[in-house]
Structure 1
Amino acid sequence: MSTAPARQKEVPAPARQKEVPARQGPPPQRGPGAVNAPSLERSLDFRRSGIRLLRMLGPQKHLVAAALTAGILAVALAVLAPKILGEATDLVVSGAKSAMGIDFPAVSRVLLLALALTAGGALFTWIQVRIAMVVAQRLAFRLRERAETKLARLPLAYFDRQPRGEVLSRTTNDIDNITQSVQQASAQMVRALLTLVGVLAMMFWISPLMALVTLAGVPLSVYGAYLIGRRAQPQFVQQWAVTGRLNGHIEEMYTGHALVKVFGRKEQAIATFDALGDELYEAGFRAQFISGVIQPAMAFIGNLNYVLIAVVGGLRVASGTLTIGEIQAFVQYSYEFNGPITQIAAMANLLQSGVASAERVFDLLDAEEESAEPAPSGRTEKVTGRVTFEKVAFRYEPDKPLIEDLTLTVDPGQTVAIVGPTGAGKTTLVNLLMRFYEVTGGRITLDGTDIAALPREELRAHTGMVLQDTWLFGGTIAENIAYGVEGDLPRERIVEAAMATYADRFIRTLPDGYDTVVDEEAGNLSAGEKQLITLARAFLTQPSILVLDEATSSVDTRTEVLIQRAMNSLRAGRTSFVIAHRLSTVRDADVILVMEAGRIVEQGSHDALLAADGAYARLYASQFAAVAA
């Protein structure tokens, strides 16, 4: 059974970062001073991203077609109404001039028909909006589903280089913005375009000459909107980029609020927030202001055109070419013609913002994934746990080697302790074993099989990890202990694991015992108590390979002794890798590896290494010389 999900969440980027300072590449923005904006790799390709977003509506083509049909019917009924009202006006005018008087029954029938057309148009508009909401929400669901699947396939290196708040912003704020843009565009934008076509057809029906006069201002409006929109688009890109950085800062300050207060960084954290807020305000203001100019500019052009139509129409009525009812209908159509153009212009900022968010989500979906998984090995024999590193090399950047020519053989059941200064590559070694990163040279084998030939899930199913940085999810303590085991477990097995790791004693003192609910930050438990729960979780999985990365760093000395006894029992018959700074925890290891700058400089037993008076002896003396004195 795989414990990979827990492992990946238990290794937050800051903890890994301190183990591998030699890593190169774009670092995540950390700490209250991280205000510098990352350079945008490329400007947003509005056309390509917009087309890609439309293609994602493919699975809903039937709903899109239904919405389009409803929109066509709504517009058809709506554009007929002014023509019918024009006929009513002609009936009134002709009746006033006739000795017979006004034919009120005929006028009433025409008005009732116009009313029915208007009501029908409203009904189909409601249907169109309703379907558009369904289409937008299903698109949002699909995007979130793909983002969730993508996050599970991304390598650990991606999360090392991306602040968590930035990733969250792409999967929440940006997708919500896309949903809003698609919902409004698929309803209002489509209706505006259809209205534009319908109204234009009616204007040509009434008077082709005046219709051409109306069209005279369209090229100027479109070109003006294009020029303004092109200037606004980069501002929307910047707006959402700053939004992601601001979310990252907020997430970091909330997660580390205790440290911010302890080190007196509250004022600097607030200053950073204010700086990012000001930057977001400036980017948002520029984007909205520039894009907002489109609507009044097009309205101005439309009003000039409206005046021209009124003058030409008056002359046509005076010459007897058009009736008063026809010019009334045409003037109303010209107003409705300018309305959709203005509406489309007004929605330009919404569309640009939505496509900018789509670009950020697509960047996430297009990120390089982990290498392809090999086919399952199909092995049925029990894994003995023999691990071999054969001339392993690894580097985070091509020109910055971290581990070179590392060779090591660990026999089944052996306990290997890895010690060394921070940045020596201890945790990197384990990450390579778990295939969180891939080796750049040599190979690692498990029972003689290259781990690169094993699916990651199969490899990690044989491994249990207890890390220095604990991770508990929102749920009961029993659920957290059973996290690494599939299916329902009897409570007895959970209690047995807790007793073996000495977690049972404090769990029973809690108000609800094993049913006590911990929040996502586990703020109602101490650091040592959280560590004991993760130890119980590893104990329950009964892995063939055990990895302990500073697993006892958060417990007191007495609890450490108890945990060491439990770990001795847990390690029996299992290959164990113990990463430790506290050398008192590794004295009983079969082999102690001393690493410096990615290389094993010494290896042997505790006594043998002390006798060698080398790097291990110096580390040991630095911790215990003062006590011995």
Structure 2
Amino acid sequence: MSHSKTKKLSSNAQSLSTPKLSTLLRLLSYLKPYWWALLLVIVGFAINAGTEIWIAKLLQYITDAINQNDRSKQALFPLLIIALFFVRGVGSFLGNYYSALVSRNLVYKLRVEVFNKLLRLPSSFYLANSSGTISSKLIFDVEQVTAASTDSMKTLVRDGLTVIALIGFLLYTNWRLTLILFLVLPPILWLVRVASKRYIKLSKGIQETMGGVSHITNEVVGGYQVVKNYGGQPYEARRFDEVSKKNLRQGMKIVVTNSINTPAVQLLMAMAMSVVVWLALQPSIIDNITAGEFISYIAAAGLLSKPVRSLTDVNQKLQRGIAAGESIFALIDETEEVDTGIQSPSLSGEVNLNNVGLTYPDSTIALRDFSLDIRAGETVALVGRSGAGKSSLVNLLTRTLTTTSGQITLDGIPIEDIKLESLRAQIAMVNQQVVLFNTTVLNNIAYGSLANKTQAEVERAAKEAFAHDFIMKMPNGYQSEIGAEGLQLSGGQRQRLSIARALLKDAPILILDEATSALDNESEYYIQQALDNVMKDRTTLVIAHRLTTIESADRIAVMDGGQIVELGTHNELMQLQGHYAQMYARDFE
């Protein structure tokens, strides 16, 4: 099943030339509920900025007192220093604590929204994007988004207010000298603009490589047995090393850009400062001010360097966060699974497929003019080589995929008119690939909408699936944890838990996709007996490769090229001496 031409997540990202303002405004809209905390952040950093001025003023008072040999305020200065830094500490606490509160809540809200969106996306999305890319967005990109909102906002407020306060003080002290500092503003803005374009490009590269890192990690963790058994460690190590090196190179390019940008800004500031100091030392100027005022002015000008540097650095955070925001919003804006259903009928299990066709986005034809009528309570087996369309047909019945042509009806109702929740509640499935969760045995059997089932009902389903005995041998019985993907259990045990889950659902339509493939011969025999019992009075579709397991089916549909080429009972098909008979003979060979 190929979907290589399906639109990738990365293609949803906007081009570099697209304005980023809309993304930034959308990010900031998430901060509205925390306006009160943002107000406290501004108050806190305003207090912090005010103390910068008083540091310069305090230096003036101390210098003048020393220069004038005035000892009358000797005891006051230590107390002022302590009071000044106490107030500064209160302001810093308010600003840092409440900005962190907003930041962590933003991560929480975005992460929950992205995860809930993933639950509502169609199967085509998961077929088109690797699990690593998706998980990277949920884990890495969401964290990066805070750089564009709360982290940048924190720097802008804290250092912006500090710069405003210091420049105001400098203008008040000597506005002519201070105007010289503004001469470096145009080249600083030009540097920021050039760096912005590079930051946004490199940030997207980091996101893509992080998706690759996450994808390879997920594959190795999920398939560690295959990696070990087939000696795949060197190959996987090389693959991981390559994508990690790409990530490293992208990260170092950002470091280089930042390492050049920041010193360049500092150099421009130093040049302006040197001119200010040279002019300030001219007799015509220095004669008009006291030593304390001179020291205070130079100290305030010197204090400008750190906040200005921080304000130039914020551009990197802002662009990185905006790039992550575009990635996140591209996922949030993905088209959700469409539910056109308006009915919630109680189905008996009658299924009619009339000239059904299914073509994938890459133009692969899975089904063509497929027609089959299944009576309620009938067991129909689907057989055929890989790619014949068996799994595609099952996906159409659960509306995981939608038909390209033709119509499917259940009890005479078009399948698209049945609400998805109602439809899927009445179809139980046992897949060839067993999916279990890192929780208890009980929660795995009574999963999702089955959580309201009683312990007795769960145990009855487990007994019918021949799982009860091995469950009771586990340390905590039905409350035993089974580990990630149920890897603490054998393949046969995992399959029996999956069968127990389907039995507990007690749906009118049952789909068995190689339900006994992971069982040993003895377990398969008992499971087959249980499945024979549960199939009674229930419409059952069985996908099977071992034909000996479906001899008792009411009808067997032999599929090839997305169509039915033979249809009948086991005996009827054997008498035809066609496709089915040849497949059956190969089974015994």
**TM-score bin, normalised by smaller chain:** over 0.9
User: Which of 231, 234, 243 matches 2:198?
Assistant: 231
C-alpha displacement of 1:193: 1.0
Check conservation: 1:603, 1:609, Cα contact below 8 A.
yes
Q: Tell me how far 1:27 sits from its aligned partner.
A: 9.7
| Contact residue 83 and residue 329 of structure 1 kept, 8 A | yes
| C-alpha distance in structure 2 between counterparts of 1:269 and 1:575, whole Å | 45
SS at match of 1:140: helix
Deviations 1:158-209 (A, max 9, x none): 1112111221111112223334664533333320111111111111111111
Q: 1:26 to 1:267 in 2, by over 3 A?
A: farther
Q: Secondary structure at the match of 1:518?
A: coil
Would the alpha carbon gap of residues 324 and 489 (structure 1) be closer, same or farther in structure 2, given more than 3 Å must change?
Answer: same
In the alignment, is residue 298 of structure 1 matched against residue 278 of structure 2? Answer: no
Pair 1:122 & 2:89 matched = yes
Whole-Å separation in 2 of the counterparts to 1:469 and 1:378: 29
Q: 1:249 aligns with which of 210, 216, 237?
A: 216
Q: Distance between the aligned counterparts of 1:125 and 1:86, measured in 2?
A: 24
Displacement of 1:82 after TM fit? 1.4
Report the counterpart of residue 271 of structure 1 in structure 2: 238
- Corresponding residue for residue 434 of structure 1: 398
> Does residue 1:492 correspond to 2:477, yes or no?
no
1:199 aligns with 2:191: no
Partner of 1:16: none
The 2-side partners of 1:231 and 1:448 are apart by 60
Residue 34 (structure 2) aligns with: 60
TM-score by length of 2: 0.94
Q: Match for 1:610 among 537, 562, 574? A: 574
Q: 1:427 aligns to what SS in structure 2?
A: helix
Label 1:27 to 1:364 Cα distance change in 2 as closer, same or farther (>3 A): closer
Bigger shift: residues 526-535 or 81-90: 81-90
Rate the CA distance shift 1:384–1:55 in 2: closer, same or farther, 3 A: same
CA-to-partner distance for each residue in 1:71-99, whole Å, 9 max, x for gaps? 22321243233134324433443x34xxx
1:69-468 → structure 2 map (5 Å cutoff): 69-93=43-67, 95-96=68-69, 102=70, 104-106=71-73, 109=76, 112-113=79-80, 115-179=82-146, 182-315=149-282, 318=285, 320-375=287-342, 377-379=343-345, 382-397=346-361, 399-468=363-432
Name the CA distance, whole Å, in 1 between partners of 2:549 and 2:216. Answer: 37
> Alignment partner of 1:216: what SS?
helix
Residue 51 (structure 1) aligned to one of 25, 41, 44:
25
TM-score, structure 1 as length reference: 0.88
C-alpha deviation, 1:609, in angstroms: 1.7
Q: What amino acid sits opposite 1:536 in the alignment?
A: A
Task: Tell me whether 408-417 or 257-266 shows the greater mean CA deviation.
Answer: 257-266
Q: Is the 8 A contact 2:350 2:374 kept in 1?
A: yes
**CA positional deviation for 1:217:** 0.9
TM-aligned CA deviation for residue 118 of structure 1 = 3.8
SS in 1 for 2:515: coil
Aligned partner letter, 1:209:
R
Write the letter of the residue equivalent to 1:503: A
Letter paired with 2:141: D
Unpaired stretches in structure 2, ≥5 consecutive residues? none
Write out per-residue CA displacement over residues 494-550 of structure 1, whole angstroms, 9 at most, x where no aligned residue.
221111111123223333333322101322211011101111111111111101111
In structure 2, the CA distance between the partners of 1:467 and 1:189, relative to structure 1 (3 Å rule), is same
Q: Is the 8 A contact 1:217 1:302 kept in 2?
A: yes
C-alpha displacement of 1:613: 2.3
Q: What amino acid maps onto 1:190 in structure 2?
A: V
Per the alignment, residue 508 of structure 1 pairs with 472
Q: Distance in 1 between matches of 2:449 and 2:183?
A: 71
Alpha-carbon shift at residue 237 of structure 1 (Å) = 1.2
Give distance in 2, aligned partners of 1:398 and 1:164: 20
Aligned-pair CA distance for 1:422: 0.6
Moved more, 119-128 or 395-404: 395-404
Q: Per the alignment, do residues 363 and 547 of structure 1 end up closer, same or farther by CA in structure 2, a change over 3 Å counting?
A: same
Deviates more, 1:167-176 or 1:228-237: 228-237
Match of 1:25 in 2: 5
Shift of 1:470: 0.6
Question: C-alpha displacement at 1:318, in angstroms?
Answer: 4.4
State the shift of 1:62 in Å: 2.4
1:583, distance to aligned residue in structure 2 (A):
0.9
Distance 1:378 1:582, change over 3 A: closer
CA offset at residue 489 of structure 1? Answer: 3.6
Contact 1:390 1:406 in 2 (8 A): yes
Give the alignment of 1:543-558 within 5 angstroms.
543-558=507-522
2:494 is equivalent to residue 530 of structure 1: yes
Q: 1:321 to 1:265 in 2, by over 3 A?
A: same
Q: What is the CA RMSD across the aligned residues, in angstroms?
A: 2.4
- Asked if the contact 2:442/2:458 (under 8 Å) is kept, the reply is yes
Unpaired stretches in structure 1, ≥5 consecutive residues = 1-19, 29-36, 97-101
Matched, 1:482 2:446: yes
> Which deviates more, 422-431 or 487-496?
487-496
- Aligned residue-pair number: 587
Task: Output the amino acid matched with 1:148.
Answer: F
Letter in 2 for 1:204: L
Higher relative contact order (CA closer than 8 Å, sequence separation 6+): 1
Residue type of the alignment partner of 1:126: F
Counterpart for residue 549 of structure 2: 585
Contact 2:436 2:486 in 1 (8 A): yes
Q: What SS is found at the alignment partner of 1:502?
A: coil
2:584 is paired with a residue of what secondary structure? helix
Shift of 1:115: 4.7
Q: Distance in 2 between matches of 1:319 and 1:481?
A: 86
The structure 2 residue matched to 1:599, chosen from 552, 563, 569, is: 563
Q: For residues 255 and 109 of structure 1, what CA distance do their matches in structure 2 show?
A: 68
1:562-581 per-position Cα deviation (integer Å, ceiling 9, x unaligned) = 11211111111111111111
Change (3 A) 1:399 1:511: closer
